[in-house]
Structure 1
Amino acid sequence: MPASSCRTVDHMSQQHAHNPPGLRAWLGLLVILGPVLLVSMDGSILFLAMSRISQALTPTADQALWILDIYGFAVGSLLVAFGNIGDRYGRLKLLMIGTAAFGIGSAGAAFAPSPELLIVARALMGVAGATLLPSALAVLSELFADPRRRAQAIGIFAAAFAAGFAIGPVAGGILLERFWWGSVFLINLPVIALFLIFAPILLREVRATRPGRVDALSVVTSAVGLLLTIYGLKHAAAEGLSIVPVLVGIVGLVLLVWFALRQRSLEHPLMEFSLFRDRVFTVAIITGLLPLAAWSAAAYLAGIYLQSVLDLPVLSAALLALPGAVILTVTCVVTPFVVDRIGKRAALIICHFSIAAGLLLLLPTAITDGIGWYVASTVIAGIGYGICFSVVADTAVGAVPAERAGSAGAIAETSNEIGNALGIALLGSLAALVFRLQGPDLAPTLDETLQLPDLAPAVVGEARTAFVTGLHVVAAVASVLHVVLGVLALRWLPRAAPSAGEPVLSRPEAAQEVEPRGR
C-alpha cells in the first residue's frame, strides 16, 4: 500500500514537527490524490469493460488476460526501482514525468485499434503508474511536518487508494452504459491535466539524503523474469502444455531466483529481503499479495458471470458491485482505530477468515441465479480486503528506515500490485483451464463461445455451466489459501503485535515478544 512510505521525509521535517499544516498542505493532498486514485482505479476498471472490448477488438484468450494484467505487472515490477530513482533524482520531478506519461498511455489505450496496441498502451500506463505511488507519498509527507497531521493525511491517501480499486468496476460500468469502451481511459485526462497545472505551485521537490545507485540489471531481471513466468503459466492454461511456453516459464523462474540471490550482494538492493526475517512483516506482506489476488480474480470473473451468464446490463452489474466497494472503503478508514483496540494480530486473522468466508459464498451461484450470493460475497470479503489495505500499510511503515523509505517501503506497494495482477494471471488462468476442459471446446473463453453463430441452447448452457464451474474452483482455491494464511497468522504472530504508529520489530526473535497495547 502507498502508506508504506509515510516516514519518507521524517528526517527533513523534525524541526517543524509542531507546526500545523496550512491551506497549501491540504490543497497539495487534494492534488496528489487525483493521479493516485487513477492508478488504483485503472487496476480494476476493465473488469466490467472486457466484454465490450472483446466484442470490439476480438482479442484471443491470451491477449484478453494480458490486456487486464500487463498494467499490474508493469506497476508491481517497477515500483521499487522507481522508488530508488525518485530518491536520487527528485520525487516531484518523477511524479510530473510519470503523470504525463500516464496521460499519454490513457489516450493511446482509449483509441487503440487492435488488442496488441491496447496491451502496449496498458503497459505504458503501468510503467507510468509505478513512478507515481512512492513519489506521491514522499511528496505528501513533506507537506505535513506534524506526525499526527501526517498520519491523518496518509490515512486519507490510503483510503483513496483502496477506494480506487473498489470503485473501478463501478465507474467502468456507469461509463459503459452511455459511452464506448475507450471512455474508461479518457476519464483520466482531465484529472491529469489539473495535476500538471497545480502540482508545480503546491508541491515541493523531495530527495533522500543517501539515495545510492539504481541497479539496472536487477530492474531488468525482475521485470522480465516475472513476465516470462506468467506467460508460461497463462499459455499452458489457455492452450495446454507445449515445449516453448514451458521453456519460457522455466527461464522466467530462473531469472527471478537470480534476482533474489543478487539482492543479497548489493549495497543498495532493489528489494530488502532481510525485512522478511520478521514474521510479522512477512505475514503482512503476504496479506498484501494474496487478498488482492483473490479480489481481482473474483471481481473479473464475477463481472463476466453477471453479464455473460446472467445476462445483466453492464450498469446493473456495476451497481451490484457498489455495496462491496462501500464496505471495503469504510473498513479501510476505520481499521486503524479498531487495530488500536484489538491489535494487529487479531485484525490480520479477521482479514483472512472474512475473505475466506466471502469467497465461499460464491459457491452456490448458478447459471440461472446467484445475484444475492454475489452481493453477500462482496460485502463479507470486503471487510477483509479493507483490513488488508490498512494493516499492510501500517506494518510496512514501521519496518522501513526513513532514509530508505522511497525504495524499501515500496515492498508493500509491490505486494498489492503484483497480487492484483497475479490474481488475474494465475487464478484467471485456472478458470480458463477449467473452461477449456469442461466447456464445449468451440472457443477458449465464454465470451468468444457466445459470439459464435447458430449456437444451440444446449451448447450455450454447457458453456455457461463450465464457466461457473471455473468460478467455483477459483473461489474454493482462494478461500483455502486464506484459511491457511489465517492459521499461520494465529501461530506465527505475537499476541500483541505493534500498534499503529509503532515500529515493527526487525529482529528474528521479535515474533516471540509480547508488547503491551493501549494508548
Structure 2
Amino acid sequence: MTEPTSTTARAGRREWLGLAVIALACVLYVMDLTVLHLAVPELSADLQPSSAQMLWIIDIYGFMIAGSLITMGSLGDRIGRRRLLLIGAAAFGVTSVLAAFSTSPEMLIATRALLGLSGATLAPSTLSLIRSMFHDPRQRSTAIGIWITSFSAGAAVGPVLGGVVLEYFWWGAVFLLNVPVMVALLVLGPRLLPEYRDPNAGRADLPSAALSLAAMLALVYGLKRVAQDGATPTALVAALTGLGLGFVFVRRQRRLADPLIDLSLFRIPAFSAALATYGIGIFVVFGGFLFIPQYLQLVLGMTPLEAGLWTLPWALSFIVGSNVTPILARRIDPAWLMGGGLVLAALGFGVLLGIEAGSGLPLIVLGSIAFSLGMSPAFTLTNDLIIGSAPPERAGAAAGVSETAAEVGGALGIAVLGSIGVAVYRRGIDDDLPGTLSAGETEAAQGTLGGALEVSAGLPSAAGEALVTAAEAAFTTGLHLGALIAAISSLALAGFVLARGRVGVITEEPEPVDEPVACSD
C-alpha cells in the first residue's frame, strides 16, 4: 500500500473518538442478529407465537437489513451520512423500546422489521464516514480494522450478554440494551462526526429503492428456506423471483440519469476484485462455521450459553486479526498478506476434518482460531479497497454494496453448505433407522440431528443409543464435507487474490482526494 503523502490530512483526537462511538453502534447492530435466540423459550411462553410467526420474529430483522443496505448507503450520499446515521439511531432506539414491550407476535414482528430498516442505516453510514474521516491510508486501514472488530465483538458479546440479562430480567430486556448506546450516539454524534454528502447528488429514485428491497428480501428468504427445508418449490420460486427483480433493478439503473447505484463502480478493477473477494470470503466463513454451534450443543451436549462461550475464541481471533492486519500491511504486500491468510484459513478448516462424533472440542477451538485469523486480512483489506477505490461522493453507495455482498454471501453459504450437510446427514442415517419407527418419527429423525435425538428418547435403551450414534456420525460426516468445501474455496480464493495482485488490481491505492463537503459541522 502506498505511503501517505504530505498533502494527506491525518485524523486527530476527534476522529478517533468519533470512530469509537460508531463502532459501539455497530456492536449493537450485530448483537440484535443473535441476542434474541436465547430469549425464544421465554418469548414463546409469553406471546405464544405460532411456529411460522416465531420464524418471522427471528428472521425479519436480518431480511430487512439485507434488503435496505443499498438504498441506505445511496441515501446517505444524498442527504448526509451523519444525518442518516443519527436518524437511524433515533429510530433504532425508539423501536427497541416498542419491541421490548410487545404484547403480541404481530407487534414484535413489525417492530423487528422496523429495527432492521433502521439498523440498515448503521453499517453503510459508519463505513462511508470512515472514508470521510480518515484520508491517510494507514490510518484508514487501522480504522477499518477497528470497525470490523466491532462486528466481531457484537457476535461474541451478544449470546453472553443476552444470557446474563435473561438470568435476571424478562425477554424484552434484551432490546433495552440498545437504548443507552443510541442515546449516546445521538448526543455525541453531532459533536464528533463530521457531515458529508455529495453536493451534486440528485433525488433518490423510489422505484429503484422498492425494487432493491423486494429483490433482496425474496432472494435471502429463498436461500434461507433452502437451508432449512431443502430446495422446495417455495424456496426456489422466492430465490428466482429475487434474481429476476434484481435483473430489473440493474436495467433500471442503466437507464436513469441519476441511478440509486452508479454501476460504473463495478468497472473499477480494485472495487470489483475486492468486492468479489469479500463476498466469497463471507460465504466460506458462514458456510464453514454453520455446523460448529450445532455440534457443540447436539453432539457434545452443551447448553446454548456454554456453546456461546466456546465460540469466543473464534470471535476474539477475528478481533486480533483485524487489528494486526493494518500493521502487517505496512510490511507485507496486501495481496500476499490476504493470500497467505486464506491459506491459513484453509488449514483451519482442514483441522475440522479430524473431528469425530462425540469428541473434538480442542480441534474445533484450534480450527476456528486458524480460519478466523486467516480470514481477517481479507475482510479488513477488501473493505479498505472497496471504500478507498470508490469516488468520495459515492462512498455511501460503495459501503451499501459491500455490506449487501456480505449479506448475500452469508445467506448463500448457509444455504449451499447447509443443504449439502442435510443431504449427507439423511443419506448417512437412512440405513441405520430402526424399522419400528412410525412415519412421523422417521421423518423427524431424517430431518435433523435434533429430531433424531428427540426420537431416540422414546425408544428402548439399546435402540435409542444406536440411533444417537448413527445420527451423530452422519452429522459429523456432513460437518467434514462442509469444512472440506470451505477449505477448497479458501485455497481457490487465495489463488484469485494472488493472481489479481500480480497485475496490481488487488493492491491499488487511490491518491488522496479532497472530500466533497456540503455541510458545516
Structure-1-length-normalised TM-score: 0.79
Out of 442, 445, 465, which is 2:444 matched to?
Answer: 442
Letter in 2 for 1:160: S
Please name the residue that 1:71 is paired with.
Answer: 61
Letter in 1 for 2:443: D
Distance 1:178 1:452 in 2: 33
Asked if residue 474 in structure 1 is aligned to residue 482 in structure 2, the reply is yes
Out of 366, 373, 381, which is 1:376 matched to?
Answer: 366
Distance 1:498 1:240 in 2: 36
Distance 1:109 1:461 in 2: 42
Distance 2:237 2:138 in 1: 52
Letter in 2 for 1:470: G
Greater Cα offset, 61-70 or 412-421: 61-70
Deviations 1:120-153 (A, max 9, x none): 4443222112112232344556666777766654
Please name the residue that 1:3 is paired with.
Answer: none
Out of 260, 276, 280, which is 2:266 matched to?
Answer: 276
Asked if residue 29 in structure 1 is aligned to residue 19 in structure 2, the reply is yes
5+ residue gaps, structure 1, are 1-13, 505-519
Please name the residue that 2:458 is paired with.
Answer: 455
Distance 2:472 2:47 in 1: 22
Out of 88, 107, 126, which is 2:78 matched to?
Answer: 88
Distance 2:231 2:9 in 1: 62
Please name the residue that 1:398 is paired with.
Answer: 388
Asked if residue 157 in structure 1 is aligned to residue 147 in structure 2, the reply is yes
Assess, with a 3 A threshold, how the Cα gap between structure 1 residues 140 and 492 changes in structure 2: closer, same or farther: closer
Instruction: Note the C-alpha offset of 1:359.
Output: 2.1
CA contact (8 A) 2:149 2:318 kept: no
Out of 297, 302, 310, which is 1:312 matched to?
Answer: 302
Deviations 1:441-463 (A, max 9, x none): 22644445545694332444444
Assess, with a 3 A threshold, how the Cα gap between structure 1 residues 372 and 454 changes in structure 2: closer, same or farther: closer
Structure-2-length-normalised TM-score: 0.79
Please name the residue that 1:8 is paired with.
Answer: none
CA contact (8 A) 1:71 1:126 kept: yes
Assess, with a 3 A threshold, how the Cα gap between structure 1 residues 162 and 392 changes in structure 2: closer, same or farther: farther
Instruction: Note the C-alpha offset of 1:328.
Output: 1.1
CA contact (8 A) 2:72 2:400 kept: no
Distance 2:378 2:158 in 1: 18
Greater Cα offset, 472-481 or 375-384: 472-481
Please name the residue that 1:508 is paired with.
Answer: none
Assess, with a 3 A threshold, how the Cα gap between structure 1 residues 244 and 44 changes in structure 2: closer, same or farther: closer
Greater Cα offset, 82-91 or 118-127: 118-127
Instruction: Note the C-alpha offset of 1:321.
Output: 1.7
Q: Percent of aligned positions with the same letter in both sequences?
A: 38
Assess, with a 3 A threshold, how the Cα gap between structure 1 residues 246 and 472 changes in structure 2: closer, same or farther: same
CA contact (8 A) 2:95 2:111 kept: yes
Distance 1:312 1:175 in 2: 20
Instruction: Note the C-alpha offset of 1:317.
Output: 2.0
Asked if residue 286 in structure 1 is aligned to residue 276 in structure 2, the reply is yes
Asked if residue 493 in structure 1 is aligned to residue 501 in structure 2, the reply is yes
C-alpha RMSD of matched pairs (Å): 3.8
Instruction: Note the C-alpha offset of 1:180.
Output: 6.1
Assess, with a 3 A threshold, how the Cα gap between structure 1 residues 468 and 408 changes in structure 2: closer, same or farther: same
Greater Cα offset, 133-142 or 97-106: 133-142
Asked if residue 342 in structure 1 is aligned to residue 311 in structure 2, the reply is no
Assess, with a 3 A threshold, how the Cα gap between structure 1 residues 239 and 150 changes in structure 2: closer, same or farther: closer
The number of aligned residues is 489
Q: Which of the pair has more CA radius of gyration? A: 2
Asked if residue 102 in structure 1 is aligned to residue 92 in structure 2, the reply is yes
Q: What SS does structure 2 have at the residue aligned with 1:267?
A: coil
